[in-house]
């Protein structure tokens, strides 16, 4: 019985590389311009890409619409707050005017009472 002859490592690596090169050469030599399977896959990928673009555009439009609604609500709330502030300022001005009028009335009453006391004291001194 003879000894098993094993090819050296360099020979085995060389033959594997040659086989890979041969497969690559066969793959590159194919005519893929009219391959129906390849054309179908390409058309499917393009359809998926177009659908993705449409979905992204729809999402962006939805986000823009939601942002516009949010901004409109915020501006409406700010306008309402401004109206409330204006009403509160008018009421505060009115209360301040009433307080000034009440203070002037009180001062006039105090002056009248003081004048009456002065006149009564003078009348007591004369009489």
User: pLDDT tens across 58-114, in order?
Assistant: 999 999 999 999 999 999 999 999 999 999 999 999 999 999 999 999 999 999 999
The Cα 39–Cα 46 span in angstroms is 10
* Whole-number Cα distances in Å, 62 to 54, 58, 59, 68, 80: 12, 6, 5, 10, 27
Model confidence, pTM: 0.48
pLDDT level of residue 7 (50, 70, 90 thresholds): confident
* Whole-number Cα distances in Å, 4 to 1, 13, 53, 124: 9, 19, 63, 154
For residue range 11-28, list pLDDT tens digits in order: 889 999 999 999 998 888
Regarding predicted confidence, which is higher, 126 or 31? 126
């Amino acid at each position: 019985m003879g000894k098993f002859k094993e090819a050296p490592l360099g020979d085995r690596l060389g033959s594997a590389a040659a086989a890979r090169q041969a497969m690559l050469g066969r793959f590159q030599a194919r005519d893929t311009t009219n391959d129906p399977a390849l054309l179908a896959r390409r058309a499917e990928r393009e359809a998926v890409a177009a659908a993705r673009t449409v979905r992204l555009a729809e999402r962006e439009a939805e986000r823009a619409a939601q942002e516009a609604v949010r901004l409109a609500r915020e501006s409406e709330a700010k306008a309402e707050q401004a109206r409330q502030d204006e009403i509160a300022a008018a009421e505060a001005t009115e209360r301040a005017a009433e307080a000034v009028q009440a203070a002037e009335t009180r001062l006039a009453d105090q002056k009248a009472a003081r004048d009456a006391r002065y006149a009564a004291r003078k009348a007591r001194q004369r009489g």
